Amino acid sequence: MTTAPATATAAAEPGYGYGAAAPEPSHDSPYQSYVYAYPHKTAYRALPDRPPLRELWAGEPQHALSLYLHIPFCEVRCGFCNLFTRIGGPDGLTTAYLDALDRQAGAVREALGEGARFALAAFGGGTPTYLSAAELERLCDIAEHRMGADLRAIPLSVEASPATATADRLAVLAERGTTRLSLGVQSFVDTEARSAVRPQKRAEVEAALGRIRDAGFPVLNIDLIYGIDGQTEASWLRSLDAALAWQPEELYLYPLYVRPLTGLARRGEAESPAQWDARRLALYRAGRDHLLGHGYEQVSMRMFRRVAAPQAGVSEYACQTDGMVGLGCGARSYTSRLHYSFDYAVDATEVRRIIDEYVATPAFDRALVGRVMTRPEARRRHLVQSLLQAEGLALAEYRDRFGSTPAEDFPAELAAFTARGWLADGAGDGHDGGTAGHDAGHDAGRGTDRGARLRLSPEGLAHSDAVGPMLFSPEVRTLMAKYEAK
């Protein structure tokens, strides 16, 4: 399994995280769930009216859309992975899948306006580089010729695994304009990789990184995981140093999650939940401090960017506004009125069923599964997507969009964050600092300065996976709780 930047994060399901959302965890943990998008796809339901895509996109701003293409295939399923993906495929399946993707692209492009333009793109999964070099060429052709995205002129991020980052595949991606290549490594320590059911050797990882650097992508991202059984602070720092030797422009540090229907979920617990939480939190802090001391800046709890390094032009989250076009059976799309997708599953049999149904679909002109976006939910989404970034939420942008402030719309939630020390000093009045003052929950979000921002404190960023779920609406929590995993 691999990961990608924000456009993939928000479009794939779960797309980018190592844990699906869990609205009611069994204990008071800093690791409730990775909130990469809101509302979570487990809050989606079948749409009885199956609205036509042309109606959904009518009147929507289309001058700077995001494009995400989902490839639901991997060479192996990691023990922690709960992504929508299948292992391998019978002869002809990838061809049939690309045929379906081409049909869907044609239908979606027809539903969009003539002036629709794409500002960024991403290929995620699964593992896009599971496709052969020739199939990757076709994938790029679908994005360019069917959808009209100029891949050489906009940021393009692609996910890869060490085993599939072959020279021929990388050459295709580089030639077609890929600006960011994200490699799922997880650990440079072989014993830890085995513990996470990630069958790879460090030598294979290093060789893949060499090929990626030789291909000349402007931005290399390396994903690492902390909290693996047997992992210590010393071994964690060894993995970080091994990654730093390649001077990646970006690093993502993910806490390990163990979720239902994954390989690790079938293994016994080596430590109590509280002990595991404490170990993960200590490893996070060690990793954060290590990277900050080696020339990196923190963008979010997970993302670190090398200072002065070129950027791929894609922020970690798909913007708080809308305009996401997702293609593929594991992707989702956003309009201002509806978030929609296909069915979602983790169980291998269910995943195969959904892929087979997608491949056999003759027409893709209607939305099948989704969640209507109300004005209150749009406010929550904007707050979630912004507050979990180190730079925080720009109060002026929020007021311009909604005519109110976060303090007016979310007084109880902000007061709770203040009580825990999760808001920065002066949150809402443009100042930075450590933990919030006693009355920051009352004042947060009331600043009138155009530069004022609502930010998490360093401790708040460390608890991002608890902050996000606390902002879920009661309706979304109820839907997620009723979702039956399959």
pTM for the predicted model, two decimal places: 0.89
The helix, strand and coil proportions of the chain, stated in percent and rounded to the nearest 5, come to 40, 15, 45
Indicate the angle between helix axes 93-111 and 348-360, nearest 10 degrees: 60
Task: Report pLDDT digits (tens) over 370-391.
Answer: 999 999 999 999 999 999 999 9
100 within 8 A of 18, measured Cβ to Cβ: no
Q: Which CATH code of 3.40.50.970, 3.30.750.200, 3.30.750.24, 1.10.10.10 fits the domain covering 6-306?
A: 3.30.750.200
Dist. CA 73–CA 70, nearest whole Å: 9
Dist. CA 304–CA 298, nearest whole Å: 5
485 pLDDT tier (thresholds 50, 70, 90): confident
Q: Where is average pLDDT lowest: 107-111, 287-291, 328-332, 411-415?
A: 328-332
Task: Report pLDDT digits (tens) over 35-55.
Answer: 888 999 899 999 999 999 999
Residue 436 clears pLDDT 60, i.e. is over it: no
Residue 430 clears pLDDT 70, i.e. is over it: no
107 pLDDT tier (thresholds 50, 70, 90): very high
Tokens describing residue 188: 């440079």
- Name the percent of the chain lying above pLDDT 90: 70
Task: Report pLDDT digits (tens) over 345-354.
Answer: 777 888 889 9
Domain ranges of the chain: 6-306, 375-475
CA 275 vs. chain centroid, Å, equals 27
Task: Report pLDDT digits (tens) over 316-369.
Answer: 434 445 699 999 998 999 999 999 999 887 778 888 899 999 999 999 999 999
